[in-house]
Structure 1
Amino acid sequence: MSLLRRSGQQALQALLELAEAPQQWRSVNQIAAAQDLPAPMLEQLLLQLRRAGLVEARRGRLGGYRLQREPAKIAVAEVLSAVGAEIALIHGETEEPNLAEQQVLRSMARRLQRAMERELMQFNLEELLFDLRSCRESLSGTGGLMLG
């Protein structure tokens, strides 16, 4: 189960790929192949990320996309917002006829939503990249573990 829409997951995957070498220009096809993403969908996401000021684009044989800012200065919330994939708690009406309980549950859901939004504004691409590298290292045959 995932809290993120597919567009949010794919945008984060693409930006993580770019964050691995932030100064290097990468084509849509290179990013798509590395992350096993469909190139047409990725192209649309990268255009949205460019409009949001998260990546820059350059045409030509040596062109492509790269991060516009350092990974530490790109909040996960910005990425999700750029592609219209904000995290939202899903909650419906309760079966309980008690109006007070429904109000309390709605209030709790709003508080949790605000807490998630605050956390996502603090959580940046550099931290996500560190988690990715740590996970890769722990899953490798060497059994290593990266610590911060």
Structure 2
Amino acid sequence: MKAAKAKLRRLQRLERIRAIAKQSAALEAAQAEDTLARLLHLSAHTDRLATGYRIKPGPMDGASLQRISTFASALLDMSTTTTRDADHAKVHADTKQADLARAERRRAAVDDRARLAEQALEKRGQRHFSSERRRTGTGLE
């Protein structure tokens, strides 16, 4: 009986640790998604700016043409760079979402094992352990 109780306590501790790991993974995933959203917005904005500064027909002197051309080229380079950064951020965000899903599966597996151990103790005539278990996390999970 002592071994079964010790196993249950160990599983409950492990479940709390896995819940904390899941919360950390959720935070990292949210940060990655936020970075992705910001980079997508920045990419679209710089693309609109570069499109707006393209050379328009009409009389222009050489210096004005040179300045506008240089500025539009720099904006286009920035747009390309931010698009590439957004693509990398998308891959990073997808990885973090996969990490979050993996953390949830690990937490759920330990939770299932703890429930089975608890039920086994109850079947052996031990007192009810459910009331002693503290729930971790929030009701939003």
Give the TM-score taking structure 1 as reference length: 0.26
Going by fraction, where is strand more abundant, 1 or 2? 1
Structure whose alpha-carbon radius of gyration is higher: 2
Going by fraction, where is helix more abundant, 1 or 2? 2
Asked which structure has the greater RCO (Cα within 8 Å, sep 6+), the reply is: 2
